[in-house]
Amino acid sequence: MKKILQNFELSFGCFVGWGLLYLLWLVLFRKIDPVIMVSGVFVAGFVVFLYGRFELAVDIPLRSLARPLLWIKFFTSLVLEIGKSTVRTCYIILTGRVKGKIVAYDTKLGSGSGRLFLINSITLTPITIGILSEKNLVYIHHLHIEDRDDYEAVVDKIRSTFEDPLLKLLG
């Protein structure tokens, strides 16, 4: 029974992933054209195939899908953080105070999908770029870190803004 449930979750995850990639394809092209629609089916299917072929796991638990308010809260805070970070990045660049450093810190996220959401959220904010997620370490390039206190503040901000909500969502 457990094996059947695992196969169902895997199939369901592949189908949902394919559907989301297909919707993203349609949104990016912004027009309904038969060639675009058909090619989107194949491109999204190819990406899902690559995930299976290279054993990349989409390990989003089904229970997290039953938490739409937490997802809305997470994406709302992400959009707000992108706005605040854009303003701060402009200020840092215009004042010439760019002091980029690479930051590494331990994450508590155990799932591959959780780390993927984390590193993509970090990259979407203009002041930071997620470079690598390796086991429990996440490497980030940050535009403005001068000393150890700045490092601690950056890590605390990332944990409170992105990692803690993802822990609630994905376990």
- Nearest alpha carbon to residue 107 among 62, 81, 139: 139
What would the CATH number be for the domain defined by 65-170?
3.30.310
**What are the boundaries of each domain within the chain?**
2-58, 65-170
The string of pLDDT tens digits covering residues 127-166 is 888 888 787 888 888 887 877 788 888 888 889 999 999 8
Alpha carbon distance 69, 76 (integer Å)? 10
The string of pLDDT tens digits covering residues 53-89 is 655 566 677 778 788 898 899 999 999 999 999 999 9
Alpha carbon distance 128, 140 (integer Å)? 7
3-class DSSP assignment, residue 57: coil
In DSSP terms, 128 is beta-bridged to 142
Is-contact 40 138, C-beta < 8 A? no
pLDDT (0 to 100) of residue 76:
92
Radius of gyration of the chain (CA): 19
pLDDT (0 to 100) of residue 53:
64
Per-residue pLDDT, averaged over 116-132, amounts to 85
- Nearest alpha carbon to residue 154 among 168, 166, 164, 144: 144
Higher per-residue pLDDT: 162 or 10:
162
Does residue 167 have a pLDDT over 80?
yes
Match 């949104």 to its residue by tokens: 27
Per-residue pLDDT, averaged over 85-102, amounts to 87
- Residue 5 confidence class, pLDDT cut points 50, 70, 90: confident
Per-residue pLDDT, averaged over 104-122, amounts to 83
Tokens of 92: 């840092």
Give the CA angle between residues 33, 36, 40 to the nearest 5°.
140
The mean pLDDT value of the chain amounts to: 83
